[in-house]
Structure 1
């Protein structure tokens, strides 16, 4: 891949769309949380969390209180597993939404992402994508903008998303692993789940089989093979449900440790119980 910085032609800012416009459009086509271009008070900047890993301990403590109130216990690995998965879905979901709906990839550096937690359950309820730069295709109406980097085709755009996500995840693994009992293989498995899931969700939220199929196609484009240190290619596959309908499903690579909660069992797609 050899992306080239696009050249301006006249007043490029008057041509096509900027990244903020993409965020507004993509945000209106999903239901998982707020998507914005600025950081409200009380939100976490990803870079701050990675530079001060003790902030993760505070997040886990808040989650542990919620788990205890709602489930009667808060196993350490469950709290660590939830925060692990929730954090990794921030860069994965932001990148997946923009790729799926806009055929753009924003910067996924920790310095350019932030998120806010829900008022009750402390999960990321909103994501902020900061900065103006984005990667796009030659046919993008904003390709002449000075903040656009044009790549040759969709495969190259998918490679940009994958590389940016892996770079962010690597910083997370280095920051998060020392404070938990989770191994690096588990953390990279969770990163793989986050990216594959997010690409699937981006299409599935369209509400039709065709929209879901487009999300599955994006997952196959981005994760067409195993790219180390990710732990697998896309795991999406078809199966037949109890009513005889063919549906998409996915086996997880990582464990969420929900089974450690009182009265809970392993998830249907838990890697602890599913055949590989």
Structure 2
């Protein structure tokens, strides 16, 4: 990909290229559904990923809020469904952060739980805002900030993809360790969800940025094979003129009244 078009044409020829916070600020206006910011407001609505993972009982409060939302719409809120939704929604935070910055800036943040925070929506309790609080990042040799103290330069795009996988997998491992005991979901299911979150996020970053093909290419670059404990390579495929993907994990929406399995649910392949 020609070092992703010479690092996205020298980061869109922006006059102030330097650090990770600048990258987040540049990417933020491109988001339609998610607030993306480089700082943590003092309004009390935001929570650091590290705080949640250090006190897994906090997941119970999140699931209670979700249960209320589901009951208002479906009349029921099965425990496995709330566990499945929270599983996918949490993993979206590090996955989407990594995908956005890779796609738009060819940079990979460290993705430490201490350096990511999110805000839940006021109505639907899913992550509606993401804050990237760290300053260190991986980048390519052509990046204008390659000489900055916070930058770790890697040789090429494959090495950048490997850095992303490693940082994301490290964050996901802390989530799996914290969430498995309180959710009663198996570790295979949790790692399958982590795989789905990353593959989806890489695809969506391109799609929402106006270049779906580039998002698919990013997914193929990062998940060109299975990298355990992730459970699969990228599952994106072209059907007719539309891209779709096979899910590795189940969201348990089918347990809600009147709902069936998603079209790409792994339960359907097992029948």
1:78 aligns with 2:81: yes
1:266 aligns with 2:261: yes
Q: Mapping of 1:60-99 within 5 angstroms?
A: 60-99=63-102
1:275 Cα shift?
A: 7.1
Structure 2 residue corresponding to 1:160, chosen from 163, 167, 172: 163
Q: 1:29 matched to which residue of 2?
A: 30
User: Per-residue CA shift, 1:84-122, capped at 9, x if unaligned?
Assistant: 000001000000000000000012010110000000010
1:221 aligns with 2:221: yes
Q: 2:252 matched to which residue of 1?
A: 257
Structure 1 residue corresponding to 2:148, chosen from 124, 145, 164: 145
1:189 aligns with 2:192: yes
Structure 1 residue corresponding to 2:110, chosen from 104, 107, 115: 107
Q: Are 1:137 and 1:154, in contact at CA under 8 Å, matched by a contact in 2? A: yes
Matches of 1:114 and 1:193, distance apart in 2: 21
- 3-state secondary structure, aligned to 1:149: strand
- 3-state secondary structure, aligned to 1:127: strand
Matches of 1:192 and 1:219, distance apart in 2: 11
1:49 aligns with 2:52: yes
Q: 1:212 matched to which residue of 2?
A: 212
Query: TM-score if structure 2 supplies the norm length?
Result: 0.91
1:180 Cα shift?
A: 1.5
User: Per-residue CA shift, 1:42-86, capped at 9, x if unaligned?
Assistant: 211000000000000110011111111111100000000000000
Matches of 1:198 and 1:61, distance apart in 2: 26
Q: 1:230 matched to which residue of 2?
A: 230
Q: Are 2:16 and 2:22, in contact at CA under 8 Å, matched by a contact in 1? A: no
1:200 aligns with 2:209: no
1:25 Cα shift?
A: 1.5
1:19 Cα shift?
A: 1.1
Structure 2 residue corresponding to 1:174, chosen from 174, 177, 181: 177
Q: Which runs of 5+ in 1 are unaligned?
A: 1-13, 241-245
1:15 Cα shift?
A: 7.8
1:143 Cα shift?
A: 0.9
Q: 2:7 matched to which residue of 1?
A: none
Query: TM-score if structure 1 supplies the norm length?
Result: 0.90
